Amino acid sequence: MRLRKMVLTFSLMAALSAPALAQVKFERKIKEGSTKISEVTSHIEQKLTIAGMDIDTDSDTRMTVQTTSGKRDDSGNIRVQEKITGLMITSKVQGTEYVFDSANPDKTSGSALEMLRPVHKLVSGRTTTTVFDKENKIAQVEFDNDPLNGLSDEIRKLVKDEFDVEKIKKNANEELERLPSEPVNKGDAWERTTKRGLGAGQVMTATTRYTYEGEIEKDGKKLDKITSKVLSVDLTVDDPQAQFMIKSSDLKPAESKGELLYDRKLGTTVSGNSSVRIVGDITLVINGMELPSKLDLKMESSSQPKE
């Protein structure tokens, strides 16, 4: 009995004297007077089967973004400008190809997607200013010009959500809040639910689980690695004037993975990538007719610093 008590005592002392797990806090920072260049890419593959007919879409986007921060004013606000300095889009729909290259923006093709060229011309030269408050939350989003100016009514309806400053601000703050404000330990996980506009009134709601994997070293820098996995998705149409509606959907993420690398010294995410494949059944309503459909959608994205 005495030996058992001694063992228990030593075990308790060892537990009490063991070093506590190092906690990490992701404190957001904005370096005044700094400039950085990032390359943002995305790839989308979609097969939509409507009443037995397949509609295949494949799209690649490559964008170079220059981000410049100013100085904080007396109220603590700071203005950060994002300028798109290069944009390349290649889309294929039902065998026809559309290409937009900001280096040669007026070169056209016979694709039905040519209707989007005026939009891409506006986007490729756009400067967006984001105003962060003293707590580094987004207070305001501004464009250097009206991105919808000169577009036809048909195109305006199609892309208006993508240029709605209030929706952009809401989505951007959701992006910032992916990381928790409270300290975390290696292995800790948390969930976030976000809504994203996909154009034409479509809104995808996704719940994602993030896990802190610990500190790694990359290119001589110590970075925090966070992985992610989409747990559930839902697709709706919130525009009553949309060309189609979604009566119901039963979608699930068949594959999902993602990674964020965070630099605590800089107080920002320096790179990230994600991939998700979504499959399932949806019921579309077009011209009052209910059409049973199937969706197979793969979305990949990446944001990397560019030297």
pLDDT on residue 8: 45
What letter would DSSP give residue 78?
Answer: E
d(CA 42, CA 73): 35
Q: Which residues contact 100 (CB under 8 A, 6 or more apart)?
A: 87, 88, 89, 116, 117, 120, 121, 124
Q: Under a CB-based contact definition with an 8 Å cutoff, are residues 40 and 67 in contact?
A: no
Q: Where are the alpha helices (DSSP H) in 43-136?
A: 117-124
3-state secondary structure of 155: helix
Residue found under tokens 């005026």: 118
- Tell me the C-alpha distance between 120 and 124, whole Å: 6
Q: Which two tokens stand for residue 245?
A: 């509606």
Strand partners, 228: 210, 258
271 phi and psi, to 5 degrees?
-160, 160
Task: Provide the pLDDT for residue 125.
Answer: 80
Residues 6+ apart with CB under 8 A from 164: none
How crowded is residue 151: how many other Cβ atoms within 10 Å of its Cβ?
A: 20
Give CA–CA dist 276/290, Å, rounded.
Answer: 28
Contact between residue 95 and residue 73 where contact means Cβ atoms under 8 Å apart: no
For the record, the structure tokens of 115 come out as: 């209707």
Tell me if 130 sits within 8 A of 141, measured CB to CB: yes
Question: Can you give the C-alpha Rg of the chain in angstroms?
Answer: 23
Output the tens digit of pLDDT for each of the chain's 307 residues.
444 444 444 444 444 444 445 689 999 999 999 999 999 999 999 999 998 899 999 999 999 999 999 999 999 999 999 999 999 999 998 888 999 999 999 999 888 889 889 989 988 888 999 999 999 999 999 998 777 777 888 888 778 878 888 888 988 888 889 999 999 999 999 999 998 877 667 888 999 999 999 999 998 999 999 999 999 999 888 777 677 888 999 999 999 999 999 999 999 999 999 999 999 999 999 888 999 999 999 999 999 998 6
Count CB neighbours of 73 within 10 A: 11
